[in-house]
A = this chain, B = another copy of it.
Amino acid sequence: MQQAARQAQPEHTLSPEELRKMNAYWRAANYLSVGQIYLLDNPLLREPLRPEHVKPRLLGHWGTAPGLSFIYVHLNRIIKARDVDMFFVTGPGHGAPALFANTWLEGSYSEFYTDVPLNGEGMRRLFRQFSFPGGVPSHTAAELPGSINEGGELGYSLVHAYGAAFDNPDLVVACVIGDGEAETGPLAASWHSNKFLNPARDGAVLPILHLNGYKIASPTVLARIPHEELESLLVGYGYTPYFVEGDAPERMHQQMAATLDRIFDDIAAIQRRARREGAKERPRWPMLVLRSPKGWTGPKEVEGQKVEGFWRSHQVPFGEVRTRPEHLQLLEQWLKSYRPEELFDENGAPRAELLDLAPAGPRRMGANPHANGGLLLRELDLPDFRDYEVEVPRPGGALNEATRTMGVLLRDVMKRNAAACNFRVMGPDETGSNRLSALFETTGRAWMAERLPEDLGLSPDGRVMEVLSEHLCQGWLEGYLITGRHGVFSCYEAFIHIVDSMFNQHAKWLHAMKETPWRRPIASLNYLLTSHVWRQDHNGFSHQDPGFIDVVLNKKADIVRIYFPPDANTLLCVTDRCLRSRNLVNVIVEGKQMAPQWLDMDSAIKHSTAGIGIWEWASNDHDGAPDVVMACAGDVPTLETLAAVDVLRQLVPSLKIRVINVVDLMTLQPKEEHPHGLGDREFDSLFTTDKPVIFAYHGYPWLIHRLTYRRTNHKNLHVRGYKEEGTTTTPFDMTVRNDIDRFHLAGDVIDRVPGLGYRAAHIKQHLRDKLIEHEMYIVEHGQDLPEVREWKWPY
């Protein structure tokens, strides 16, 4: 096996003066980290520390902070020495004190937060605000300059880093991965992102695995396997790992400096080979393993118990500072061990020799514009979606696979923005399966691993990203969007639940962004959910779950949008709208199967702009009030509703039915709850105030009740949807099992419309007979009744 990994030897990379200054800078960062965790006042210790200078609630994480600062200081050196465009992704997000410290030291923090200037008063505020009511969270978040990664839920640092690096050839994303985070599934999968990164076209990611050995209360796996096994693992992931290990600061500084020089030489060489020499093979990118003590430079022991280099330093190493004088003294000693008087001038500003070490302007990692991607966002050049119209001579008069049509639109979006290099489509190996294959007419699948002669459409330059990991698709796209680009994620509906928590965190990120004035709007995260619950013809029960919508709806109304285009032309309208939007999460749910088309382009534009509307052509209540309202949201529910209308017209021609179709689910919510919500008067004019409403809904039926319980006519609302019944069966049988098929819907109407007299029982019997006929037919033939399969809207 290739001996690719090397341990760098400490050298005299840094002059004594450089070493002294860098260590001072690091001491300053550590001092500021401890100060944030502990101090309310007296930030510079210019008077003896008293209990009232200490925060009443000590909340924060010390353990990882000194290691993060160590890395930050050394990356600063590299940036200055080589003029590198780089920013910092903080996997161990609870090490935020280090990041606040470093962005403050380099001056970027005070530019974003002018009330926290680079002086003693600023330092006091920096300390006080940390993990303090009305202040800043104790982990990295949108409020932190230079951050693209929420550090609360662990696992996404590396995939975000890769997302940021794609299509940014001059960027280096330094990504610190905690050894705790490294145990998570998403992180474990993220290492393989290097098979999707093209050294000619994309930037570089520098993974820095930070082994400080411990999680909250136990060791980490990667810190407790033999060195050679870890090396083998990282080589197996496709990297060349360099190790920097130890605890003696001076030696560690030299080793780190030498190693980073080596690494940035490697990166430059890889990029040169790919860009100038046209090398096509996947390079073995360098990475760094930093093994340093948890709580490095903190108290070695507290009351006889090991703290530095152990999990006891994970959060606050000792806490009774306000009540126990010995703890107060310990804190003062600890803070003074950094010799603040040497680090800060009389005004409390960092001394000039420290300030000199930081890069300048946008080269400061806290001020890198990529980390505030809205600054760099370019509008997509979008074709006129009307040009992709599917001919629909009359409602139901055409068949089409809606997502295939969307694929053609996306192909042209891809084509028009090829030069801008700012649009990608992600999916877990389902782009073709989801009928978006027109994309492959203009681009390939991104692929840097080995290729064989028979391969189709793989390309280092591909802009479709496929990997069998929803986590990677989601994480890459998040990183790509937050750094100012655009994209779409297409996924099987049931399996998007795999990234529920990532969606949650992204929605929270967007919410926090909006409350952070200097954060500029970014492109929305657009989901196409297809292969949905109603059409799992050869999959089964495990592939049926429309509940992601419920998860999405728990987030802030100003962030989330959910669309159910009933056909291809509506899907085109909605797609265009989503691609133009900012700071949202847009969920589009659409089947991929051949299905009847209802609206021509003009009608589709009108309908999707309104988001909800009466389909006059399907209704027969034109000359008065309806007897019943039949509402639908989703392509299959729409089909079954219209088929039920047909059944009812034949059985009870006199019945006046109003058909309402919902494209934009948010219209159902009260106006006060969501910006797309209908006013009560509008809602009542659609749904009446007293007629029965049969609502066929794509997902779990109670969601519709949740959205509409305040509406006047809610008491007459009867919702059908997916109720967790299903297996591998025919499309129509799936609807029957969940009582949302045409015959059940027609029966629901009959049950609720008064005045049908003796006819009601007769009709119900007929509908039951149809269902029995269906049952018998599919068991015999394995497919749906011809009259169902071939049904067309006949009016």
Given A432-B216, A551-B551: A141 and B542 interface contact (C-beta under 8 Å) = yes
Rounded to whole Å, the gap between the CB of A401 and the closest CB of chain B is 17
Q: Does A379 contact B (CB under 8 A)?
A: no
Q: Are A234 and B231 neighbours in the complex by a CB distance under 8 Å?
A: no
Q: Are B233 and A233 neighbours in the complex by a CB distance under 8 Å?
A: yes
Given A709-B709, A779-B134: A511 and B153 interface contact (C-beta under 8 Å) = no
A486-530 vs B, CB cutoff 8 Å, 1 = contact: the mask equals 000000001101101100110010011000000000000000000
Name which residue of chain B comes closest to A500, CB basis: B500
A504's partner among B186, B228, B497 (CB-CB below 8 A) is B497
Q: Are A429 and B180 neighbours in the complex by a CB distance under 8 Å?
A: yes
Q: Does A225 contact B (CB under 8 A)?
A: yes
Q: Are B180 and A468 neighbours in the complex by a CB distance under 8 Å?
A: yes
A495's partner among B153, B185, B449, B452 (CB-CB below 8 A) is B153
Name which residue of chain B comes closest to A669, CB basis: B702
Q: Which chain B residues lie closer than 8 Å to A362 at the CB level?
A: none
Q: Does A232 contact B (CB under 8 A)?
A: yes
Q: Does A672 contact B (CB under 8 A)?
A: no
Q: Are B238 and A236 neighbours in the complex by a CB distance under 8 Å?
A: no
Q: Are B150 and A542 neighbours in the complex by a CB distance under 8 Å?
A: yes
Main secondary structure of the interface of A (DSSP, over half): loop
Q: Are B185 and A189 neighbours in the complex by a CB distance under 8 Å?
A: yes
Q: Which chain B residues lie closer than 8 Å to A218 at the CB level?
A: 429, 445, 447, 457-458, 466
* Band of interface residues on A: 35 or more
Q: Which chain B residues lie closer than 8 Å to A452 at the CB level?
A: 219
A547's partner among B233, B554, B783 (CB-CB below 8 A) is B554
Name which residue of chain B comes closest to A494, CB basis: B153
Stretch with Cβ within 8 A of B (4 or more), from A12-20, A201-209, A533-541, A586-594: A533-541
Q: List 14 A-B contacts (CB under 8 A).
A: A2-B228, A40-B782, A132-B782, A134-B729, A134-B778, A137-B539, A137-B542, A150-B542, A183-B472, A215-B468, A221-B467, A511-B724, A512-B541, A547-B554
Q: Which 5 A-B pairs have the closest CB atoms?
A: A233-B236, A152-B542, A59-B538, A137-B540, A185-B185
List chain A positions with a Cβ less than 8 A from chain B: 1-3, 40, 55-57, 59-60, 131-139, 141, 150-155, 180-181, 183-192, 195, 215-221, 224-226, 228-238, 306, 310, 315, 429-433, 445, 447, 449-452, 454-455, 457-458, 466-472, 494-495, 497-498, 500-501, 504-505, 508, 511-512, 537-543, 545, 547, 550-551, 554-556, 700, 702-703, 705-706, 709, 714, 724, 727-730, 733, 778-779, 781-783
Inter-chain pairs besides A56-B781, A132-B728, A219-B450, 20 sampled, C-beta below 8 Å: A135-B728, A136-B728, A141-B541, A151-B542, A153-B495, A180-B468, A181-B468, A183-B469, A185-B187, A188-B189, A215-B468, A216-B430, A217-B432, A219-B449, A233-B236, A315-B538, A494-B501, A500-B500, A504-B545, A508-B542
